[in-house]
Amino acid sequence: MTLAIFDLDNTLISDDSDFLWGQFLVDQGIVDKAQYEAANTKFYEDYKLGNLDIVEFLQFSLAPLAKHDPEQLYKWRSQFVEEVIKPIQLKPAIRLINKHRFKGDTVLVITATNRFVTEPIVKLFRIDNLLATTPEFIDGRYTGQFEGIPCFQEGKVKLLEEWLKTSTETMENSWFYSDSYNDLPLLKLVDNAVAVDPDEKLRDHAEQQNWSIISLRL
């Protein structure tokens, strides 16, 4: 079997779920609008520029999880997925996933956005395999910290290598679809790198390397 790996944000959906979750918290009055919205926007701009301090961002983005009961968090998350995420699922992305499934490939999503946010989103695509930053959960509550390695840039490669050790999959003839220059370490690792509606820096690199460049927003 072949491993078909997908980024999530701006690849399978037409926006960034991490940023949108932060905006949802603002819109629902769950966090302070003035402080949180400005910081959320600044971190997202840093991400797009390739300058994100992932640890600083995770301390910011996971903090609201520690302030609320998990049952309430899950209710908000369900509302978020229904109202915000479902409308931005990309139908061509679903067709591409199904094309790999039809060939017998194993489909995996690997994303920098934390597992609390992304797990139900990935389930919308009927994908069982997910690698994401894991929020720490102790004694029935989120702590606001994260476990292990952030699933970001080189961290994606490290987490994938750990996952492969417990899997029957290999990287032979592997695919990775991503929109972001931040994913260059993993794009360089696979046999078939595909830039999906890429940012400017990734498009330039993909053209230099003769990688495939596609759009899933047609």
pLDDT tens string, the chain, 218 residues long: the values are 799 999 999 999 999 999 999 999 999 999 999 889 999 999 999 999 999 999 999 999 999 999 999 999 999 999 999 999 999 999 999 999 999 999 999 999 999 999 999 999 999 999 999 999 999 999 999 999 999 999 999 999 999 999 999 999 999 999 999 999 999 999 999 999 999 999 999 999 999 999 999 999 97
Long-range contacts of 39-42 (CB under 8 A, 24+ apart): none
Hey, what are 109's tokens?
Answer: 């999503």
Give residue 49's pLDDT. Answer: 92
Hey, what are 184's tokens?
Answer: 């260059």
Rounded alpha-carbon distances, angstroms, from residue 89 to 61, 85, 123, 185, 204: 23, 7, 12, 26, 26
- Residues with Cβ within 8 Å of 3's Cβ and at least 6 positions away in sequence, in order, are 105, 106, 108, 169, 170, 171, 174, 175
- Domain holding 81: CATH number? 3.40.50.1000
Give residue 81's pLDDT. Answer: 98
Hey, what are 45's tokens?
Answer: 């701009």
Give residue 34's pLDDT. Answer: 87
d(C-alpha 98, C-alpha 51), whole Å: 34
Note if 9 is an active site residue: yes
Q: Can you give the residue range of the structural domain that contains 160? A: 3-214
Structural domain total, the chain = 1
In terms of residues, how long is the chain? Answer: 218
Note if 199 is an active site residue: no
- Residues with Cβ within 8 Å of 65's Cβ and at least 6 positions away in sequence, in order, are 73, 116, 135, 142, 144
> Smallest Cα–Cα separation from 191: which of 208, 215, 207, 171?
171
